[in-house]
Amino acid sequence: MKHSQTTEKDSSNPTKIKEVRGSNKCKEVSLLEIGQMLNVTFYNNRTVGKNSNLFSRHLEKTVCDCNIFPLGVSSWNDIKHEKLNHMWAAIEMNIHRDHILGWMNELWKKCRGHLHSKYVKDEPIQQSLRNVPTGVDKKEWKWLVKEHFSFECFQGRKNAHPPDLANILFETRKKDNKLVEHETIQKHVQLEKNVQADPSLPIIEIVEKCRGPQTRNYVFGLEGGVKAKDLKGGTSSKAELLVALRSTREDAKSLNEENESMNEENKSSNDRCLP
Identify the weakest region by mean pLDDT among 108-112, 177-181, 224-228, 236-240. 224-228
**4 or 57, higher pLDDT:** 57
Q: Note the pLDDT tens digit of each residue in 140-181.
A: 888 888 877 776 445 555 554 556 677 777 777 777 778 888
Q: What is the pLDDT of residue 162?
A: 58
Contact of 17 with 8, CB cutoff 8 Å: yes
> Is residue 174 domain-resident?
yes
Q: How confident is the model at residue 116 (pLDDT cuts 50, 70, 90)?
A: confident
What distance in Å separates the CA atoms of residue 122 and residue 132, rounded to the nearest whole number? 15
The answer to whether residues 170 and 151 belong to one domain is: no
Residues 97 and 198 in one domain: no
| Distances from the Cα of 107 to the Cα of 126, 171, 200, 233, 267, angstroms | 27, 19, 35, 36, 77
Q: Higher pLDDT residue, 67 or 112?
A: 112
Q: Which pLDDT value is given to residue 7? A: 45
The answer to whether residue 140 is domain-embedded is yes
Contact present, 146 and 179 (Cβ < 8 Å): no
Helix-helix angle 203-211:182-197, to 10 degrees: 140
Domain that holds residue 67: 36-155
Highest mean pLDDT among 63-77, 126-140, 156-170, 209-223: 126-140
Beta bridge partners of 178: 175
Q: What is the pLDDT of residue 171?
A: 75
Q: What is the pLDDT of residue 168?
A: 75
Name residues whose C-beta falls within 8 Å of residue 90's C-beta, 6 or more positions apart in sequence. 62, 65, 68
Residue 143 shares a structural domain with residue 82: yes
pLDDT at 1: 41
User: Do 71 and 134 reside in the same domain of the chain?
Assistant: yes
User: Please, which residues bridge with residue 5 across strands?
Assistant: 19
Q: Distance between CA atoms of 97 and 84, rounded to whole angstroms?
A: 10
- Sorting pLDDT into bands at 50, 70 and 90, what band is 222? very low
**Residue 94 to residue 246: CA distance in whole angstroms:** 63
Which parts of the chain are beta strand (E)?
3-8, 16-21, 41-43, 46-48
Write down the pLDDT at residue 133: 84
78 and 60 assigned to the same domain: yes
Domain check: are 134 and 203 in the same one?
Answer: no
